[in-house]
Amino acid sequence: MTNQQDIMHACPACGLLCDDISGDAIARQQFSCGKAAKFYARVSAGAAPAVGGSTASLAEAVKAAAALLKQASAPLVAGSSTDVHGARALVSLSHATGAAMTHINASSTLRNMKVLQHRGWQTTTLTEVRNRADVILMIGTDVVSHNTRFFERVVWVDEAMFTEPAARKIIYLGGDKLNTKPGVAPDGRAPEVIACASESLPEVVATLRALVMGKPVTAETVAGVAVSSLKSLADTLKTAKYATLVWVSKDLHYAHAELTIENITETVVALNQKSRAMGLSMGGSDGDTSVNYAHTWLNGVIIDAPEWESHDAVVWVNSYSPNAMPPAGTAPVIVLGAPDSTFDTTPAVFIPVATPGLDCHGQQFRVDGSVTLPLTAAKPSDLPTLSQVVALIEAQLKGDLA
């Protein structure tokens, strides 16, 4: 049996799910990523259930939560910041209470899902990129604001099977306040930056797609970007052995950004007629991929976006975002979440639950969708899991109804 210090933990602080976090690094709080440092610095001790802001027993809090849910005519399960096991429990709770279910990242998730459901896409995963990508184009994003160690773990690696990692061509196209420093090659070679504001990306990406498809483009500039530089970018993509076009849906936060994503993915489709290219959707947090996937296999449909005003009770789960709360005005709120939650408004019921990957084991999907990793309890605690608390609430509901 390996001892606690030898286990490599997978870090659920973002969608990259780096699984090289040693017990030693956690003990000494030494990380190359601020998100990981913040996650592993969290403390669960001292949290207790509360009803109306007053400390209560778990049984009392469960009873209060069940009573509120029983009363509600249109409850909502929201936040849903958890892992696969938590997602299963929340789907079960939504069935038991007739609740709708959504996720804290629903709007950015749905931006991608609209594209998937309208046209489909052609995408790749991190190990393919690590071993094959010779050109990496980031559109409207620096990736590292979401996935700090993207370049460390996927791009500037020591070895790759089919390409020379240090020779990769890194290109940034558009976006706001990008941190392009991680895109500098180990030998100091600077990345190419084609600057434009996020809001100009619809035009710029549409032009890139047209150029890749060989359509005539007569304009000399599009949204301030020289068409000649886009033409040269299109040629770079076409001659790449394995071009990777990266986006982060959270960074494309203007109206109808799904159309920009579709232009990215359809550029990939066009490239794949003759050469090889793939899309890569990065970002991810709060178990968004896990919850959407589990929701899909359990219900047959993807996660939905919330309509806050049409619900009269909210079950809020914030395991990876202890500071997050539903929009003001939604009530009553039952928080089944982070023991270190901070509240501006006292929720009706608060039941601290174990955070998967910190207090308890779990399973989480990586942002690229094909890989699922086990989460291990980095700092085991006695807190009940979300599944256990939901089972108690469901039992209480059944008892009440009987």
Partner 1 sequence: MITLLKNAKVIDPAHHKDGVVQDIYIRDGRIIAKPADSEKIGQVHDLNGKIVMAGAIDMHSHIGGGKVNIARMLLPEYQAMRKLDEPEAHICGANCSHHATPNTTDTGMRYIEMGYTAAFEPAILAVNARQAHMEMGDTPMIDKGGYAMLGNDDYLLRLLSQNADQKTINDYVAWTLHATQTIGIKVVNPGGISAFKFNERRQDLDQQHSYYHITPRRILQALSRAVNEIGIAKPLHVHCNNLGVAGNFQTTLDTMGASDGLPMHLTHIQFHSYGTEGDKKFSSAAANIAEAINSNKHITADVGQILFGQTVTASGDNMMQHLNAKVANPKKSVIMDIECDAGCGVVPFKYRDENYVNALQWAIGLEVFLSVDDPWRVFLTTDHPNGAPFTSYPHLIRLLMDKTFRNDAFDKLNLDAQAMSNLKSLDREYSLYEIATMTRSAPAKLIGLQDRGHLGVGAAADITVYTDQADKEAMFAKPDLVFKDGELVVKDGKVVKVVWGATHTAKPSFDLGVEKDIKQYFDRYHTMQMNNFKISNDQIAEDGRNHVINHTQGS
DSSP assigned state of 173? E
Q: Under the criterion CB under 8 A, does residue 213 sit at the interface with partner 1?
A: no
Is residue 317 classed as helix, strand or coil in its secondary structure? strand
Q: Under the criterion CB under 8 A, does residue 181 sit at the interface with partner 1?
A: no
Buried b (16+ CB within 10 A) or exposed e, 189-221: eebbebebebbbbbbbbbbbbbbbeeeeeeeee
- Residue 204 CA to residue 112 CA, distance in Å, equals 19
- Number of CB atoms found within 10 A of residue 122's CB: 15
Q: Under the criterion CB under 8 A, does residue 84 sit at the interface with partner 1?
A: yes
CB of 206 vs partner 1, minimal distance in Å: 19
Q: CB under 8 A: which stretch of 40-48, 176-184, 348-356, 362-370 binds partner 1?
A: 362-370
Site for partner 1 in 161-180 (CB under 8 A): 161-162
Comparing CB distances to partner 1, the nearer of 127 and 321 is: 127
- Residue 9 CA to residue 152 CA, distance in Å, equals 17
Site for partner 1 in 101-140 (CB under 8 A): 113, 116-128, 130-132
278 touches 265 (CB < 8 A)? no
Comparing CB distances to partner 1, the nearer of 145 and 299 is: 299
Comparing CB distances to partner 1, the nearer of 7 and 223 is: 7
Q: Under the criterion CB under 8 A, does residue 70 sit at the interface with partner 1?
A: no
Give me the phi and psi of 206, to 5 degrees please: -60, -40
Q: Which residue has the tokens 């084991």?
A: 361
CB of 9 vs partner 1, minimal distance in Å: 10
Q: CB under 8 A: which stretch of 203-211, 228-236, 331-339, 368-376 binds partner 1?
A: 368-376
Comparing CB distances to partner 1, the nearer of 122 and 232 is: 122
CB of 77 vs partner 1, minimal distance in Å: 13
CB of 211 vs partner 1, minimal distance in Å: 21
Q: Under the criterion CB under 8 A, does residue 19 sit at the interface with partner 1?
A: yes
Comparing CB distances to partner 1, the nearer of 113 and 389 is: 113
Quick note: the x/- pattern for partner 1 over 296-315, rule CB under 8 A, is xxxxxxx-------------
CB of 162 vs partner 1, minimal distance in Å: 7
Give the list of residues 6+ apart from residue 225 with CB closer than 8 angstroms, or none: 194, 195, 196, 200, 204, 207
358 touches 340 (CB < 8 A)? no
Q: CB under 8 A: which stretch of 288-296, 312-320, 322-330, 332-340 binds partner 1?
A: 288-296
- Residue 391 CA to residue 26 CA, distance in Å, equals 32
Q: Under the criterion CB under 8 A, does residue 29 sit at the interface with partner 1?
A: no
Provide the terminal-to-terminal Cα distance of the chain, rounded to the nearest Å: 46
Q: Under the criterion CB under 8 A, does residue 278 sit at the interface with partner 1?
A: yes
- Residue 88 CA to residue 362 CA, distance in Å, equals 12
Q: Under the criterion CB under 8 A, does residue 321 sit at the interface with partner 1?
A: no
Choosing from 102, 341, 363, 396, the residue that interacts with partner 1 (CB under 8 A) is 363
Minimal CA–CA distance to 44: which of 389, 337, 350?
337
DSSP class per residue in 216-285:
----SEETTEEHHHHHHHHHHHHH-SSEEEEEEGGG--STTHHHHHHHHHHHHHHHTTTS-EEEEEE---
Comparing CB distances to partner 1, the nearer of 124 and 198 is: 124
Q: How many residues sit in the footprint of partner 1 (CB under 8 A)?
A: 58
238 touches 229 (CB < 8 A)? no
CB of 131 vs partner 1, minimal distance in Å: 6
* Contacting positions for partner 1 (CB under 8 A): 8, 10, 19-20, 84-85, 88, 94-95, 113, 116-128, 130-132, 153-154, 158-162, 241-242, 272, 275-276, 278, 293-294, 296-302, 361, 363, 365, 369-374, 387
